[in-house]
Amino acid sequence: MNNECLFHGASSEVITPFTQKGEIDFELLRKEIDFLIKNGITGVFVNGLASEALMFSTEQRIEAVRTAVKASAGRIPVMGNLLYNSVDMAVECMRGYEEAGCDAVIITPPTIYKYTTEGLFEYFKKIAIRTELPVYLYNAPETGNKIPPEVIAKLFAEVPNMRGYKDSTQDIIHQQTVLRLIGKDRQFDLMSGSDAQIVSTYMMGGVGVFSLITCVFPKLIVDVCEASAAGDWEKARELQEKILRVRQAMKVGPFMAAYKYVATLVNAPLGKMKEPLSEVSESDKCKILEILKEQQMI
């Protein structure tokens, strides 16, 4: 593993806990960060799509990052996600992240509105050049704006503080193309953005994953990252197969609800879903339990 990598290995996408009233449960958020660190997680990514952050105000996003920074207390790096359609709003949020003490920012593509290739490039560049923090790109196709490899390569060529890339495309051809265009001489910390693609990302020269499964089963992801980094591909592939089944369980029911249900089973509570998002049903719970018991996770 490159010692210059800020984020590497089993990093976690933080799942935001909420109270019954739909407010961010900052006490549970602090406990979540501590739980992750104690279980070997090497960095955290705050305000991602899975965190329900699309329903946060800018002030709430900044406070979530501030809470994570204080909870981590310098033990691991904290990354704040910028999830906006407006450059000005993203920069305003970034200023709050800087003040809160985060170690890096990551920029998610704008949502819904279709951007041209040049428009996407300008969006990312105009945000990235406004900070001295390390900047990562997050390719999240579900936003409706998948970042083409050529845009990624151009950004890394023109913006010195571009540091890494969270790839959630689940597209190995895309990943290979990006690596070819970036070249070997430029710092480029490739992180899988999907638990389904950890081993293949390492095989391509990646350095880790931003994982959701870490929030409930951190050891599983730590183990596959360690096996991959050590080149123990037989063990890594075996663990990746297990992860795929666990991931299948975590996708049962409404968006992210399975994670919050399973968190109660492993004594690492993640609070409630934020309305109008729903909790898992009793029938969903049975399906989740069946898979997790089969995989000996509970």
Please tell me the distance from the alpha carbon of residue 27 to that of residue 71, in angstroms, as a whole number.
10
**What pLDDT score does 176 carry?**
97
Share of the chain above pLDDT 90, in %: 98
What are the tens digits of pLDDT across the range 77-119? 999 999 999 999 999 999 999 999 999 999 999 999 999 999 9
Residue 3 has pLDDT above 70, yes or no: no
Does pLDDT of 4 surpass 90? no
The C-alpha atoms of residue 116 and residue 262 are separated, in whole angstroms, by 40
Each residue of 171-229: pLDDT tens digit? 999 999 999 999 999 999 999 999 999 999 999 999 999 999 999 999 999 999 999 99
Q: Look at the domain 9-230 and name its fold.
A: TIM Barrel (3.20.20)
- Which residues, 6 or more positions from 9, have their beta carbon under 8 angstroms from its beta carbon? 1, 42, 207, 208, 209, 222, 225, 226, 229
Angstrom distance (rounded) from CA 69 to CA 80: 10
Which DSSP string do the residues of 44-84 spell out, in sequence order? Answer: EEES-GGGTGGGS-HHHHHHHHHHHHHHHTTSS-EEEEE--
- Give the model confidence (pLDDT) of 239-251 as tens digits: 999 999 999 999 9
On the question of pLDDT at 57 being above 70, the answer is: yes
Query: Is residue 127 within 8 Å of residue 90, measured between CB atoms?
Result: yes
Banded model confidence at residue 168, pLDDT cuts 50, 70, 90 = very high
Mean pLDDT for the chain?
96
Mean pLDDT of 34-48: 98
Q: Is the pLDDT of residue 1 over 70?
A: no
List the chain domain ranges: 9-230
0.85 cut: is pTM over it? yes
Residue with tokens 């945000």: 127
**Cis before 276? omega within 30:** yes
2: pLDDT strictly greater than 60: no
% of residues, the chain, pLDDT over 70 = 99
